[in-house]
Amino acid sequence: MVEHKTSIRVIYADTDAMGVVYHTNYIKWFEVGRCELLRSMGYPYARMEAEGILLPVAECNCKYKLPAVYDDILEITARIAEVKGATVTLEYEIRKQETGVLLVTGSTKHAITDPNFKPIRLRDKNRALNDCFMK
Amino acid sequence: MVEHKTSIRVIYADTDAMGVVYHTNYIKWFEVGRCELLRSMGYPYARMEAEGILLPVAECNCKYKLPAVYDDILEITARIAEVKGATVTLEYEIRKQETGVLLVTGSTKHAITDPNFKPIRLRDKNRALNDCFMK
Amino acid sequence: MVEHKTSIRVIYADTDAMGVVYHTNYIKWFEVGRCELLRSMGYPYARMEAEGILLPVAECNCKYKLPAVYDDILEITARIAEVKGATVTLEYEIRKQETGVLLVTGSTKHAITDPNFKPIRLRDKNRALNDCFMK
Amino acid sequence: MVEHKTSIRVIYADTDAMGVVYHTNYIKWFEVGRCELLRSMGYPYARMEAEGILLPVAECNCKYKLPAVYDDILEITARIAEVKGATVTLEYEIRKQETGVLLVTGSTKHAITDPNFKPIRLRDKNRALNDCFMK
């Protein structure tokens, strides 16, 4: 299972008046984790786009266990969970780096499409990327 | 089942380089729908906070069917789906107002807590709000 | 001088851990004011784009006098301050609607360009829009 | 003059439907540059807060020369430009790291306040931080 860790630091822009990170920002950081995962696989998303393949988000889920606060360094783990038909599902964990405590888990399911958002089967259209995802 | 509709207009800030609304922004608009729903029930979230009750997001889910684009007016429907223990679950639909076409569905599950994020049972702590939710 | 007022309500997403609105969000609301101003002039930005005219932001300035907080309704006033060469400058005020108290002032200067970001002179390219701006 | 460089990578969340970074996000990155500058000076903003000193933004200015796009790595340079009365002004440059090309310049002016947003003179209240700023 392909997996990658990256980290970010919480700034004020990410927090809200409850004093903690606003809940949609973790899902934004899923994007950071996903991009760096694809890059680590030798297939940055920018390259996918250049080759005419998009991964629009079809579904996302997020569970919030403990809040992150200003100045925390967060470790984002992203992994490819499933490639099925013209979709790929990724899973994520976000931990407080200093302590390793799990804060958030989640997943995103993506359609695999051409630039007109028409679903494509990777196996037929781009064997190299398909092999990447299947590793 | 308590339900409320409100609408917003998409600005450039909400879109991304794919030419459509960035996926986490719909979840931000769930917050708009939720706040206006609570207000319509006579219990604005600001009042809940003043009475020592918070609704931190414990879980969110979102399914993307069709994309919204710049300048679309979106209609957000929010409804209370379930109150159970110290949690409340809301469901949402986002439609393009002009056509009524369904773009996004989703839900958020909230813990019902005191200002220290300690779960509380509404029935015991705030009967008026509990009755609101139970309607 | 063409001027338009519109209003928005502050949500949690707009606030930060200082308990007030995060400073860049007022500048995002300048966009709301700007779009509604253009619409009120009969020239929504979407129409400008369809006619091949973009207004990328070349400069922005913002002064923060008093903070807005969660659930405030804010009144955004936008006006066209100057059209000069291939640029247009707008000015903004943001007030707390309930009290009329001035919270934020600012301006944005925009290049007037074609879809390739090449500057154009409105007078030559689009007389109708030029007349709108000059009113 | 105290100065610090840090870098970030542009994600989809930062871009808009013009295909470039949305203009307020550079100002959000000024915050990243500012925080890392303060940290490099031995005085992280979190420590300042713990010692009862806040730096709410009183004014910001931003000039956009060239746009950044998805996946660019941006280098943010932040420096302290002036400490005067109960205010501190910082200046920023954002460059495309790969080429060194200057994209954006700007500044933020901050009030130096206690937790109730009351202005304070650093010299009197916190000599260590004052010396940091004056270096």
B46 with C71: Cβ contact below 8 A: yes
pLDDT at B122 over 90: no
Question: What residues of chain B lie within 8 A of the CB of A57, using their CB?
Answer: 23, 64
Position B133 confidence tier, pLDDT thresholds 50, 70, 90: confident
Higher pLDDT, B2 or D60: D60
Containing B40, the helix (H) or strand (E) segment is helix B24-40
With a CB cutoff of 8 Å and minimum separation 6, the contacts of A118 are none
Region of residue C52 (phi > 0: left; psi between -120 and 50: alpha; otherwise: beta) = left
Residue C126 confidence (pLDDT):
84
Measure CB to CB from residue D13 to each of A12, A28, A46 and give the nearest one.
A28
With a CB cutoff of 8 Å and minimum separation 6, the contacts of B85 are B119, B121
D27 with C28: Cβ contact below 8 A: no
Question: What residues of chain D lie within 8 A of the CB of A56, using their CB?
Answer: none
Position A130 confidence tier, pLDDT thresholds 50, 70, 90: confident
Which residue of B14, B15, B24 is the best one to mutate when testing the A interface, meaning the one whose CB has the most A CBs within 10 A? Answer: B24
For D95-105, how does the pLDDT look when each residue is reduced to its tens digit (9 = 90+)?
Answer: 999 999 999 99
Query: Could you list the pLDDT tens digit for every one of the 135 residues in chain C?
Result: 789 999 999 999 999 999 999 999 999 999 999 999 999 999 999 999 999 999 999 999 999 999 999 999 999 999 999 999 899 999 999 999 999 999 999 999 999 999 999 999 888 888 888 888 887
C14 is catalytic: no
Position D30 confidence tier, pLDDT thresholds 50, 70, 90: very high
**Structure-token pair, residue A12:** 């004020």
Measure CB to CB from residue D22 to each of B12, B20, B24 and give the nearest one.
B12
Chains that touch D (3 or more CB pairs under 8 A): A, B, C
Can you tell me the mean pLDDT for D48-62? 95
The pLDDT > 90 percentage for chain D reads 85
Q: How many helices (H) and strands (E) does chain D have?
A: 4, 5
How many structural domains compose chain B?
1
Any C CB within 8 A of A82 CB: no
Interface of B with C in 27-46 (CB under 8 A): 28, 31-32, 35, 44-46
Question: What residues of chain A lie within 8 A of the CB of D70, using their CB?
Answer: 46
Length of chain B: 135
Taking CA D70 as the corner, what is the angle to CA D39 and CA C37, rounded to the nearest 5 degrees?
95
- For CA atoms C37, C40, C43, C47, give the dihedral sign: positive
Any D CB within 8 A of B56 CB: no
Residue B53 confidence (pLDDT):
94
Interface of A with C in 59-78 (CB under 8 A): 69-70
Residue B135 confidence (pLDDT):
76
φ and ψ at residue D53, rounded to 5 degrees: -120, 125
For A67-88, how does the pLDDT look when each residue is reduced to its tens digit (9 = 90+)?
Answer: 999 999 999 999 999 999 899 9
Position D125 confidence tier, pLDDT thresholds 50, 70, 90: confident
For A95-127, how does the pLDDT look when each residue is reduced to its tens digit (9 = 90+)?
Answer: 999 999 999 999 999 999 999 999 998 888 888
B58 with A63: Cβ contact below 8 A: yes
How many angstroms separate the CA atoms of D47 and D35, rounded? 11
Nearest Cα residue in chain D from A9: D32
Q: C91 to chain A, minimum CA–CA distance in Å?
A: 24
The mean predicted confidence, pLDDT, of chain B is 95
Residue D79 confidence (pLDDT):
97
Higher pLDDT, D6 or C122: D6
SS3 call for C124: helix
D18 with B24: Cβ contact below 8 A: no
Measure CB to CB from residue D13 to each of B12, B22, B69 and give the nearest one.
B22
Can you tell me the mean pLDDT for B78-85? 94
The mean predicted confidence, pLDDT, of chain D is 94
Whichever domain contains A65, its CATH number is 3.10.129.10
**Structure-token pair, residue A20:** 């903690």
Residue A127 confidence (pLDDT):
86
Q: DSSP label at D115? A: T
Any C CB within 8 A of A13 CB: yes
Nearest Cα residue in chain A from C15: A16
For A22-67, how does the pLDDT look when each residue is reduced to its tens digit (9 = 90+)?
Answer: 999 999 999 999 999 999 999 999 999 999 999 999 999 999 999 9
Q: Are D4 and D33 in contact (CB under 8 A)?
A: yes
Residue A67 confidence (pLDDT):
96
Q: D45 to chain A, minimum CA–CA distance in Å?
A: 9
Residue A25 confidence (pLDDT):
98
DSSP letters, A1-51, are: --EEEEEEE--GGGB-TTSSB-HHHHHHHHHHHHHHHHHHTT--HHHHHHT
Any B CB within 8 A of D22 CB: yes
For C35-64, how does the pLDDT look when each residue is reduced to its tens digit (9 = 90+)?
Answer: 999 999 999 999 999 999 999 999 999 999
Domain that includes residue B78, residue range = 3-134
Residue B16 confidence (pLDDT):
97
Residue B130 confidence (pLDDT):
86
- Per DSSP bridges, beta strands A102-111 and D3-9 are unpaired
φ and ψ at residue D39, rounded to 5 degrees: -60, -45
Residue D71 confidence (pLDDT):
97
Nearest Cα residue in chain D from A7: D8
Residue D68 confidence (pLDDT):
98
Containing A106, the helix (H) or strand (E) segment is strand A102-111
SS3 call for C109: strand
pLDDT at D1 over 80: no
pLDDT at D133 over 90: no
Residue C83 confidence (pLDDT):
92
**Structure-token pair, residue B40:** 């319509």
Single out the residue of C76, C66, C69, C68 nearest to residue C7, CA to CA. Answer: C76
A18 with C24: Cβ contact below 8 A: no
For B46-61, how does the pLDDT look when each residue is reduced to its tens digit (9 = 90+)?
Answer: 999 999 999 999 999 9
Question: What residues of chain C lie within 8 A of the CB of A24, using their CB?
Answer: 13
pTM: 0.96
Question: Judging by beta carbons within 10 Å of its beta carbon (0-12, 13-18, 19+), is residue C116 exposed, middle or buried?
Answer: exposed
Residue D128 confidence (pLDDT):
84
